[in-house]
Amino acid sequence: MSAVELTPVSTVAEDNPPPGFEPMVRASGFVRQCTGMYRDTERGILGARIRQQHLNPLNIAHGGFLATLIDTAFGWAVIQATGSERPMATVSLTIDYLSPARPGDWIEAHVEVHKAGRTLSHASLSVMEGDRLIARGKAIFISSSSSGL
């Protein structure tokens, strides 16, 4: 069995997030494995510096990483809008990938919550790299108490 060569993981200092962004810390779960996400709690924005481990074979951000960033941004924004103490479950998530995010790009997910209901919440977002639109998405979330979770 041959040894697997691992690429070193970037650090917060190497990511150099803009002022106001702090590392997003998660206690457990899948998203904990997706390193390099930051949040600006004052402005309600999730961001990330595209690292080597976020890339696909085309040397651009992997759609799965972008989808995780998008779903996480939606969930965080909906929880803030509803005041829920429990996580929400994603019912529907649609993403249009419009422009590649490249190594070193700083991207930000800007969410607009359209309806924050007791059961269902609806939102849309734009993922931006400066003025360039990387992706857009729409999502519907259900409260975890309504979904039987």
72-88: per-residue pLDDT in tens? Answer: 999 999 999 988 888 88
The residues, any chain, with a CB within 8 Å of residue 146's CB and separated by 6 or more, are 118, 119, 120
Residue 90 maps to which CATH number? 3.10.129.10
pLDDT category of residue 67 using cuts at 50, 70 and 90 = very high
**Is residue 2 pLDDT above 50, yes or no?**
no
Share of the chain above pLDDT 90, in %: 69
Q: What's the confidence (pLDDT) of residue 148?
A: 57
Decide if 10 is inside a domain.
no
CB 69 within 8 A of CB 46: yes
Cα gap 37→116, rounded to integer Å = 24
Distance CA 117, CA 86 (A): 14
Quick check: is 53 in a domain? yes
5 within a domain of the structure (yes/no)? no
Which amino acid, one-letter code, is at 32?
A: R
Please check whether residue 104 lies inside any domain of the structure: yes
pTM across the whole model: 0.86
Instruction: Determine the structural domain holding residue 95 and report its residue range.
Output: 20-143
Hey, what are 100's tokens?
């590649």
- Domain tally, the chain: 1
